[in-house]
Copies of this chain bind each other. A is one copy, B any other.
Amino acid sequence: MAQTIQIGKLAVLLASLDEEEIQLFNKQFKEVRYCTGKAGSMNMQKVISSVETAAKRNGIISEEVYRETHALYHAILEALEGVTRGQIAIGDMMRTVGLKFSVVRGEPYDRKGEGEWIAVAFYGTIGAPVKGLEHETMGLGINHI
């Protein structure tokens, strides 16, 4: 792979590993900015805005530049394609999610001019709105920013 820093893999690890396991990869996180958070809901809007709010509060993207919100939004949607597998909908399809998410920003490429990219990952459960009737789900979205 032509990538020096795998922001996607880092986002996936942040979303799916527990605290202790993440420590094992500590070195790899030195060259990126990132944040994590949780979103449990039947409401897709809430899931999307949880990620956007976390990314802005933690200074991963600038609140005042549409360009960055646009880049993040499409990365979120692409990650949600993996989570929902077919239709970006949860409550409307009578299912609910309990997700941990991560946002990672960095320069994955050595090539001059490639600049910064952003990765969004989700990991958690999706299923019926009944405790325990659920299975794992995951999604990753990547965009230039």
Q: A residues near B, CB below 8 A?
A: 1-3, 6-9, 12-13, 16, 21, 24-25, 44-45, 48-49, 52, 62, 64-67, 69-71, 73-74, 77-78, 81-83, 85-89, 91-95, 98, 108-109, 111, 113-115, 117, 119, 121, 123, 125, 127-128, 131-142, 144
Residues of A contacting B: mostly:
mixed
Contact of A109 among B66, B83, B89, B93 (CB under 8 A): B66
Q: How far is the CA of A142 from the CA of B138 in the complex (A)?
A: 10
- Which residues from B are CB-within-8-Å of A3? 125, 135-136
Q: Assess whether B132 is in contact with A137, with CB atoms less than 8 Å apart.
A: no
Q: Which of B109, B113, B138 contacts A138 (CB 8 A)?
A: B138
Given the contacts A48-B93, A135-B8, A85 and B88 also touching, CB distance less than 8 Å: no
Residue of B nearest to A142 (CB): B135
Once the chains are docked, how many angstroms separate the CA of A128 from the CA of B13?
A: 26
A13 to B52, CA, bound (A): 26
Residue of B nearest to A116 (CB): B67
